Structure 1
């Protein structure tokens, strides 16, 4: 079974919630939520980039005979799916922004 670790729900809290030192949850201020959401997106993009780098390394190993074709194909598919997911999320964010800009006040 293939596990998507890009958006692992165990390690990420909602951008609107913050945990304090005593593990209680409180609502974040808008500024804190923006910072958390920005860091969440940056982490997700870094994971996509890391998957792409892994594919390049496996391709190089495959060319010299140190990796199996199965490993290369699986890593390539994971990377491609992550990139497609990232592109779709970007498209939905742009659509949402355009819809907000079309709203009349």
Structure 2
């Protein structure tokens, strides 16, 4: 279902690490909350993708997985992927907008 999750996961991880470095250099006492949120979102997306893959494999193997369970797992993974993609797009757009600012 979610074919390009690895590419978006890599992109989100790089954005998260950049956000974490920015927070660390600015002296944030509580750590990088934005970077942590992105890492958590990437991990949750990967987990949902793995569950969907397992459900679809179980359905195809005939190991007792119901069709509706596989479909629900696939839709959850797809929605998580779409959310991650939109967050990535907004983060990239915000970064590009900041880079074009003149002081």
Match of 1:54 in 2: 51
For residues 83 and 39 of structure 1, what CA distance do their matches in structure 2 show?
A: 18
Q: 1:34 to 1:92 in 2, by over 3 A?
A: farther
Which residues of 2 match residues 13-92 of structure 1 at below 5 A?
Answer: 30-32=27-29, 35-65=32-62, 66-92=64-90
Deviation at 1:44, TM superposition (A): 1.1
Could you tell me how far apart the structure 1 residues matched to 2:78 and 2:27 are? 34
Which 10-residue stretch deviates more, 46-55 or 60-69? 60-69
Q: C-alpha distance in 2, partners of 1:64/1:82?
A: 25
- Is the helix fraction higher in 1 or 2? 2
Per the TM alignment, residue 59 of structure 1 is displaced from its structure 2 partner at its CA by 1.1
TM-score with structure 2 setting the length: 0.68
Report the RMSD for the aligned CA atoms in angstroms: 1.6
Higher-Rg structure is: 1
Unaligned runs of 5+ in 1: 1-28
In proportion to residue count, which structure has more strand?
1
